[in-house]
Structure 1
Amino acid sequence: MLVLPGDLLTATGGYEYDRRMLEGLRQLRWNSTVVALDSSFPTPTAQALEDAQRQLSALPADSLVVIDGLALGAMPEVVHAHKDRLRMVGLIHHPLAAETGLSPELVSRLHESERRALQAMRLVVVTSQRTGRALADFDVASDRIAVVEPGVDQPRHADERVCDPDAPVRMLCVATVTARKGHELLVDALTDLTEMDWTLTCVGSVERSPATVRALKMRIEASGLEDRVTLMGELDEAALQRQFRAADLFVLATHYEGYGMVVAQALAHGLPIISTRTGAIEELVRPEAGVLVEPGDWTALRDALSRVLADADLRRQLAAGARAAGAKLSSWSAASERMSEILASVAGALR
């Protein structure tokens, strides 16, 4: 049983992880179903909390229930009411309080809410070692944490990329347009590099944070980059894969990630990476595969972009490193098997 808010088909890394785990567990003969909560989480309405209580109350005693952190951290009273009746496992992609742009008061409130909710879990699954270490601040003992990193789909055709020094460098960013993903920072850095020949395609929802999207579009227009920066919105999987194949360089100026699934996907496609040292990205992207800077460091990001954009030989070297790193990444089937083992330890004979 997987409990999560909103639509399972939502195009974010967290929801993709949930979808792929459900598919994998079903292939491993788990009877995996979904309980959909109201989409107002992680800031639920009173009615949404009442509905969550009703849905958990309807589950048979001793049911194995995996609760996505997007809902879990916002309903400590609900889960504590079922602490002894259900076998609950938390699934944390990253702490709610780590979202960018929150007021100090909201950060404090979310931190305490998630800390209390996590105490009701029999086990907590995290998607990276970094997130697991972060949960020490939430009073979760290390022996109650299990790591199941995402898998990656290896492209069917991972041919060596040819970098034409006379053609524009085609940069790709795949991320929902929210403050945390750093699109404005990326555009600011590129504003200083207009003498170089490049284009940037941004793939990801423009519906989640209208204020961020408005500010980003204004920044693009003010910088005169309308002909170079394209906001494509969400794409289906086939169209997204075409974008990966067409790109020369992957960029993600994110302020915080739990793991960084799109970075792993870019590595599998043999794309050089320019990103930030956050989540598992620092472990995924070694120096031979890309250039990482500190989150929020505009100057370092601009300098990294300038260096890589100007040097076709460096891009070729980084592409080779990316291909080698991507080829070593685990599959989704291996990730699902790991999740199955962990859940079996909680479920016991219930499976």
Structure 2
Amino acid sequence: MAGDNDVTRPTGQRIRALVINFSCYFLYPGDLDTATGGYHYDRRLIAGLRRLGLEVTTISLAATFPRPDPPTLEATARVLATLPDGATVVIDGLAFGVMDRLAAAEAKRLRLVALCHHPLALESGLDASQQRDFMHSEQSALSHTRAVVVTSEHTRQLFISRFGVSAQHITVALPGTERMPFAACDGNPLRLLTVATLTRRKAHDVLIEALATLTALPWQARFVGGSEFDPGWAAFLEQRVRELHLSERIDFVGSSDSLPSEYANADLFVLPSRFEGYGMVFAEALAAGLPVIAARAGAVPDLVPDTAGLLVAPDDTGALREALQQLLTDATLRHKLQAGARAAAAALPDWDDCARRVLQLLEQVQRLEQEQC
């Protein structure tokens, strides 16, 4: 690192653009523009690293990860083989977690860095055999890295305690959150917003069952999120809404290009996920000043303070119903949590913080390599 220069953020603020003497490759499965929190993190991190002066070459791997077939793994091996000796290679955990044999083959030649949003084995809907396979492959793959990046302290502790990764090997780079105007939260009926892909881990099924018991109260719900990751599960959710005669109350919106307006038009944010490695949509809800109802799962309790939301046990339909009823009927409590969300928004990190943290880690990887030569 020879020096630095000033560049301007889109907001007009100045950040330091570093003169960096190395570059990196960033590998991810499928389409980088995919509308999930993990891909959003990847996009913003790549952009932030580039703003800081790091040359980042992006490479798309097959979209079938984390369930690649043998030809896909062979094609991925060929991609890795084209990278120059000593290259710094950041690989998204959705792919890296099942690249254990490839990582073992390339670990000495390449500087492999894993970016893990959450452990693959903790995805909902897996049977015991699938969980064991993911656990074994991810544990093995991570053992061949120079460093691991995770998105929350909770996830860091999981990889230390359950995957045997040393504490010194893992860096937390919290996601940034875009600032946005606070929602008015004055709807009548109250507008409930859920932002999540229609997958089992997000627990829309629990929310639907809870809402079915509250039809006497005035509310409308919008489920924003794509169905392409598990079409069968999405079809089940839509069928269940029809069976419970909730089609006029719950709107399946699909992926949205205007999430800020979704938050701005909402009164409450509700998502009872069974697990979250961080939960970027909860941070976005806080940034919009929305009261939150969520499950006490994964990193959510670290992100959503008691002053801003109500947290219930995962998969507890009754507890979720009670929390919903509380906020739907108690305006004083809603306003109190709304104020708490606005206060919490001020402490959320930004994307430049995230990029700087990862860049520091990559520089450390470079220095350690040079010291060992």
Shorter-chain TM-score category?
over 0.9
In the alignment, the residues of structure 2 paired with residue 283 and residue 5 of structure 1 have an alpha-carbon distance, to the nearest angstrom, of: 28
Q: Which residue number in structure 2 is paired with residue 40 of structure 1?
A: 64
Q: Which residue number in structure 2 is paired with residue 299 of structure 1?
A: 318
Aligned AA for 2:171? A
Give how far 1:350 is off: 9.3
Q: Of the candidates 136, 154, 178, which is equivalent to residue 153 of structure 1? A: 178
In the alignment, the residues of structure 2 paired with residue 307 and residue 211 of structure 1 have an alpha-carbon distance, to the nearest angstrom, of: 33
In the alignment, the residues of structure 2 paired with residue 43 and residue 221 of structure 1 have an alpha-carbon distance, to the nearest angstrom, of: 32
Figure out how many residues of one structure are paired with residues of the other and give that number: 345
Give how far 1:158 is off: 2.8
Q: Which has the higher strand share?
A: 2
Which structure carries more relative contact order (alpha carbon 8 Å, separation 6+)? 1
In the alignment, the residues of structure 2 paired with residue 47 and residue 31 of structure 1 have an alpha-carbon distance, to the nearest angstrom, of: 30
In the alignment, the residues of structure 1 paired with residue 206 and residue 343 of structure 2 have an alpha-carbon distance, to the nearest angstrom, of: 29
Q: Which residue number in structure 2 is paired with residue 112 of structure 1?
A: 136
Aligned AA for 2:343? A
Aligned AA for 2:317? W
Output one character per residue of 1:83-113: Cα deviation in whole Å (capped at 9) or x when no partner. Answer: 1101111111000000000011110111001
In the alignment, the residues of structure 1 paired with residue 235 and residue 185 of structure 2 have an alpha-carbon distance, to the nearest angstrom, of: 36
Determine if the alignment matches structure 1 residue 50 to structure 2 residue 74.
yes
* 1:13/1:198 CA distance change after superposition, 3 Å: same
In the alignment, the residues of structure 1 paired with residue 146 and residue 228 of structure 2 have an alpha-carbon distance, to the nearest angstrom, of: 35
Aligned AA for 2:35? A
Counterpart mapping for 1:1-351 below 5 A: 1-136=25-160, 137-155=162-180, 157-158=181-182, 161-163=184-186, 167-236=188-257, 239-348=258-367
SS in 1 for 2:171: strand
Aligned AA for 2:176? G
Give how far 1:276 is off: 1.1
In the alignment, the residues of structure 1 paired with residue 250 and residue 239 of structure 2 have an alpha-carbon distance, to the nearest angstrom, of: 12
Give how far 1:323 is off: 0.5
SS in 1 for 2:106: coil
SS in 1 for 2:56: coil
Give how far 1:328 is off: 1.2
TM-score, structure 2 normalization: 0.90
Q: Which residue number in structure 1 is paired with residue 18 of structure 2?
A: none
In the alignment, the residues of structure 2 paired with residue 63 and residue 232 of structure 1 have an alpha-carbon distance, to the nearest angstrom, of: 42
Aligned AA for 2:186? C
Aligned AA for 1:282? P
Greater shift, 202-211 or 341-350, is seen at: 341-350
In the alignment, the residues of structure 2 paired with residue 305 and residue 153 of structure 1 have an alpha-carbon distance, to the nearest angstrom, of: 27
Give how far 1:163 is off: 3.2
Greater shift, 100-109 or 272-281, is seen at: 272-281
In the alignment, the residues of structure 2 paired with residue 67 and residue 139 of structure 1 have an alpha-carbon distance, to the nearest angstrom, of: 19
In the alignment, the residues of structure 2 paired with residue 80 and residue 4 of structure 1 have an alpha-carbon distance, to the nearest angstrom, of: 18
Give how far 1:277 is off: 1.3
Output one character per residue of 1:177-197: Cα deviation in whole Å (capped at 9) or x when no partner. Answer: 011111111000001101100
SS in 2 for 1:230: strand
Aligned AA for 1:180? R
Aligned AA for 2:243? A
SS in 2 for 1:91: strand
In the alignment, the residues of structure 1 paired with residue 230 and residue 222 of structure 2 have an alpha-carbon distance, to the nearest angstrom, of: 19
In the alignment, the residues of structure 1 paired with residue 156 and residue 185 of structure 2 have an alpha-carbon distance, to the nearest angstrom, of: 39
In the alignment, the residues of structure 2 paired with residue 261 and residue 324 of structure 1 have an alpha-carbon distance, to the nearest angstrom, of: 17
User: Could you tell me whether the CA contact under 8 Å between 1:169 and 1:198 is conserved in 2?
Assistant: yes
Aligned AA for 2:287? A
Task: Percent identity, please.
Answer: 43
Give how far 1:327 is off: 1.5
Give how far 1:162 is off: 4.8
SS in 2 for 1:231: strand
User: Could you tell me whether the CA contact under 8 Å between 2:149 and 2:173 is conserved in 1?
Assistant: yes
Moved runs in structure 1, 4+ residues, more than 4 A?
A: none
- Unaligned segments of structure 2, at least 5 residues: 1-24
User: Could you tell me whether the CA contact under 8 Å between 2:185 and 2:268 is conserved in 1?
Assistant: no
- Unaligned segments of structure 1, at least 5 residues: none
